[in-house]
Amino acid sequence: MRDYDEVTAFLGEWGPFQRLIFFLLSASIIPNGFNGMSVVFIAGTPEHHCRVPDTANLSSAWRNHSIPLRLQDGREVPHSCRRYRLEAIANFSALGLEPGRDVDLEQLEQESCLDGWEFSQDVYLSTIVTEWDLVCADDWKAPLTISLFFVGVLLGSFISGQLSDRHGSDLQLRGSICPGYGHQVGGTEILGKSVRIIFSTLGVCIFYAFGYMLLPLFAYFIRDWRMLLLALTVPGVLCVVLWWFIPESPRWLISQGRFEEAEAIIHRAAKINRIVAPSNIFEPSELQDLSSKKQQPHSILDLIRTRNIRTVTIMSIILWMTISVGYFGLSLDTPNLHGDIYVNCLLSAVVEVPAYTLAWLLLRYLPRRYSMATALFLGGGVLLFVQLVPSDLYYLATALVMVGKFGVTAAFSMVYVYTAELYPTVVRNMGVGVSSTASRLGSILSPYFIYLGAYDRFLPYILMGSLTILTAILTLFLPESFGTPLPDTIDQMLRVKGIKYRQTPSHTRMLKDGEENPTVLKSTAF
């Protein structure tokens, strides 16, 4: 029986229908770019120090010396969480004593910020940190809010994956605004083989980077966190218009036995492409064969039902989670880099464009696992090297962090394509959904990796670099999908895409004539 790509070959690869799907789905990702990283500015922590009330009876000299100094990056700055005991310095001020001359400041008793904090407005007018004083003893609450944001994304990706496999991508689209990975899977199933990789890398990912690039522009001109959040959210509503332009995936409809609906969409695509479609897209014998094998409803348990798909699922979960920690950790770390936060955020977004371009080239010409492992080794190795850079060469340290982001981003782009190719159509959305859920678990953890930088500036890079290197090694054990057709059923995955076990005579007899050496996704240990 012919596969879907053979059946729809008469449509061509890059007609008006494919271009429409390509650009609509790609453009719908733009809001994901500036919404996904908006927490960089919404939860930003400006410079701050203890507030000294105007009612405090202090001379100007004592008011200027009411905050102790501490060393930061080789220079003295006001302490963020301590002040000299107000009662004591008020007494010294009343007695006419001068700080530093008559009173040794190092011997003075200190206290916490009992009257709150004063926040600098040089970068932000307001953030959730300044509004709710999420600093000092409560500074752990700032990364918690970021993690809770990603918890919401996790729940959405899990539910949308279940909906799209059970009820189709169209319902998933109607139930959520611009669901990034769902659109990517839908495009993977609708578009032809040669366009599929371009869509998943240069299409989805570069349009995401464009949205990411717009974030510092929005944040620069809108420095109040509530107005910024509103400005970033409104464009996502425009995705509602996609309801009328994006069709259901014919490949998914066929897997559910809904042949008439699939044929109607294919005929519509042929009409848009000005191509005369065959009167019968599917041969009667194919319809009968497919009907007799009508797919039963699939659940998440199908992702662990057999040894082969269970192995792929477990490895994909680990892969996505650790890559996500690196990607989101480096993106959220931009405020901690030396220099202007808006410029650093823009650089973090711009570096993704060449990363996605490289990912596309690697996916087009080289095996998947070697391409991903190379990108991960590059990103992880560079991050481990950052700690060796002298403190005065901060521009070199920033450049190395951006190179690390380049490698991790390229791997993140490739893992979407790789995972979608490993799973069959009947559970592809679910498989990528579970993997995306694992990715969200990584994003939930990533703020706390950055939080560790308060104790040691290089600790986040050491941890993220080490995880990235370990993930690169794990990638080498994954099956290889380069140059093989997408499986439509779990049976096809087991026969064509299964792990290569040691063949026995009984196994060889199970193969059809001429298939003693089938193309498989081999799991190779190094």
Is the predicted pLDDT of residue 505 greater than 50, yes or no? no
DSSP H or E stretch at residue 394: helix 394-422
What is the residue type of 396?
Answer: L
What is the residue type of 464?
Answer: M
pLDDT of residue 290: 53
The CATH code belonging to domain 296-499 is 1.20.1250.20
Burial, 204: exposed, middle or buried (Cβ in 10 Å; 0-12, 13-18, 19+)? buried
Please state the pTM of the whole predicted model.
0.77
pLDDT of residue 521: 34
Q: Which of 290-299, 418-427, 473-482 has the lowest mean pLDDT?
A: 290-299
SS3 525: coil
Pairwise pLDDT comparison (13 vs 407), residue with the higher score: 407
- Residue count of the chain: 526
Average pLDDT over residues 484-494: 67
pLDDT band at 165 (very low <50, low <70, confident <90, very high): low
pLDDT of residue 49: 92
Average pLDDT over residues 180-199: 60
Is the predicted pLDDT of residue 370 greater than 80, yes or no? yes
pLDDT of residue 444: 93
User: What tokens were used for 385?
Assistant: 């090297």
pLDDT of residue 355: 93
Is the predicted pLDDT of residue 389 greater than 70, yes or no? yes
DSSP 366: S
433-458 burial, b for 16+ CB within 10 Å, e for fewer? bbbbbbbbbbbbbbbbbbbeeeeeeb
pLDDT of residue 296: 61
Average pLDDT over residues 128-152: 91
pLDDT of residue 188: 56
Is the predicted pLDDT of residue 449 greater than 80, yes or no? yes
pLDDT digits (tens, 9 = 90+) for 54-107: 888 888 898 888 999 888 767 788 899 999 999 999 998 888 888 888 888 888
Helix axes 459-475, 394-422, angle to 10 degrees: 30
pLDDT of residue 288: 54
As a whole number, the mean pLDDT across the chain is 79
pLDDT of residue 502: 44
* Helix intervals (H) in 191-306: 193-198, 204-221, 225-233, 250-255, 259-272, 284-292
Instruction: Report how far residue 258's alpha carbon sits from residue 252's, in angstroms, rounded to the nearest whole number.
Output: 9
Backbone angles phi, psi at 287, to 5 degrees: -60, -45
Is the predicted pLDDT of residue 494 greater than 50, yes or no? no
**How many of the other CB atoms lie within 10 Å of CB of 285?**
9
Q: Which of 33-37, 192-196, 277-281, 322-326 has the lowest mean pLDDT?
A: 192-196
pLDDT digits (tens, 9 = 90+) for 270-322: 777 787 777 766 665 655 555 555 556 677 777 877 777 788 888 889 999 99
pLDDT of residue 507: 40
SS3 82: strand
Residues paired with residue 231 on neighbouring β-strands, in sequence order: none
pLDDT of residue 197: 65
Average pLDDT over residues 45-50: 92
Q: How much of the chain, in percent, has pLDDT values that exceed 90?
A: 30
Is the predicted pLDDT of residue 207 greater than 70, yes or no? yes
Q: 183: closest CA among 199, 206, 166?
A: 199
Give domain limits for the chain.
Answer: 1-37+167-294, 48-119, 296-499
pLDDT of residue 402: 94
Is the predicted pLDDT of residue 492 greater than 60, yes or no? yes
pLDDT of residue 411: 92
pLDDT band at 423 (very low <50, low <70, confident <90, very high): confident
